[in-house]
Amino acid sequence: MASASPTPAPGMIDAHGRHIEYLRISVTDRCDLRCRYCMAEKMTFLPRRALLALEEIAIIAERFIARGVTKIRLSGGEPLVRSDVGDLVRRLGAHVGHGLHELTMTTNATRLAEHATMLADAGIRRINVSLDSRDPDRFRYITRHGDVDHVLGGIAAAQAAGLRVKINMVALAGLNEDEIAPMLAWCVDQGLDLSLIETMPLGAIDEDRTDRFVPLTRVFDALSGTFDLTRDTYRSGGPARYWRVADSGTKLGLISPLTANFCDGCNRVRLTTEGRLYACLGHDDQVDLKTALREGGTAALDAAIDEALRIKPKRHDFRIEPGAAPAVARHMSVTGG
């Protein structure tokens, strides 16, 4: 796939004065796991004809680079289940150092072992791996059928390829809360970073999220009694606040959309696999970049992006309450994690 050089374009500042520098792209809504807090067991995925072609994703991403986006994260669903994702990684990786500062990926790592070298060769330097438990039985329960050995093997392959790995762990009451401290200790031992995430009310699932919600304020207090944690000014471009674990290279990140709203500094927009641009994870307002690109080319694409900046809300409306409907009907896998 030939790469086209982005042409100059207006910058990206939303109606609240925030500079948008970070684009998350869901390359597929499909996943080979069915994590209980993320998906229903029986999911209906988009028909393949509704998805953006790889070339279209690349053109849209390059337009964002031209407009000042410096970080792109590829996600899903599970991005590595899309057979042609390597072509996209290589094309976007060519922009690293030429307008794009960083290209990253979030993966469940079930297929990472076979792709780690390709990702590193293409320009990715760090990845996030979703891992909520290292216990085989518990991991299988949370994911409904996953094999944790595949994930651990993928992490090892990524490190061998020279990729920096951060573990993303969703804190879940009654499921993995007792594993959080051991997970951090394991990350320190393995030279990994760890981000803890509060469960988010996105999409209908088969359980009540209220029963699983763990406030990270409580988790941090518990971890502080075991680990020497020092506030770190490091910013990854995302919503996490970081602490450094003493006598190690490990950083602990906390992503707390409910107990510590992070919207004031939001610098992100999200492109779905069907070409819809969501300016906020917690709202349904969106613009259709696929139609804009197909019917009007770059000019229409720029106009649609401008509209997304205009409608980007000041903050999300996430709430965790018994019996409350999800903040939005779409699942995280549709918008991109």
Q: Binding site annotation covers 77?
A: yes
Determine the Cα–Cα distance for residues 313 and 282; give it in Å rounded to an integer: 9
Pick the closest to residue 34 from 150, 133, 144, 171 (CA basis): 144
Determine the Cα–Cα distance for residues 92 and 142; give it in Å rounded to an integer: 33
Q: Is the dihedral of CA 26, 29, 33, 39 positive or negative?
A: positive
Q: Binding site annotation covers 270?
A: yes
Q: Binding site annotation covers 134?
A: no
Q: Binding site annotation covers 268?
A: yes
CA distances from 116 to 1, 36, 155 (A): 21, 27, 9
Q: Binding site annotation covers 37?
A: yes
Q: Binding site annotation covers 276?
A: no
**Burial letters for 206-241: b for 16+ Cβ neighbours within 10 Å, e otherwise?**
eeebeebbbbbeebbeebeeebebeeeeeebbbbbb
Angle at CA of residue 25, ends 238 and 243, nearest 5° = 15
Q: Binding site annotation covers 106?
A: yes
Q: Binding site annotation covers 269?
A: yes
Q: Binding site annotation covers 266?
A: yes
Phi, psi angle pair for 110, to nearest 5°: -65, -25
Give the tokens for residue 207: 């359980």
Q: Binding site annotation covers 38?
A: yes
Q: Binding site annotation covers 130?
A: yes
List the binding residues: 24, 31, 35, 37-38, 73, 77, 106, 130, 166, 200, 263, 266, 268-270, 280
List the binding residues for [4Fe-4S] cluster: 31, 35, 38, 263, 266, 280
List the binding residues for GTP: 24, 73, 106, 166, 268-270
List the binding residues for S-adenosyl-L-methionine: 37, 77, 130, 200
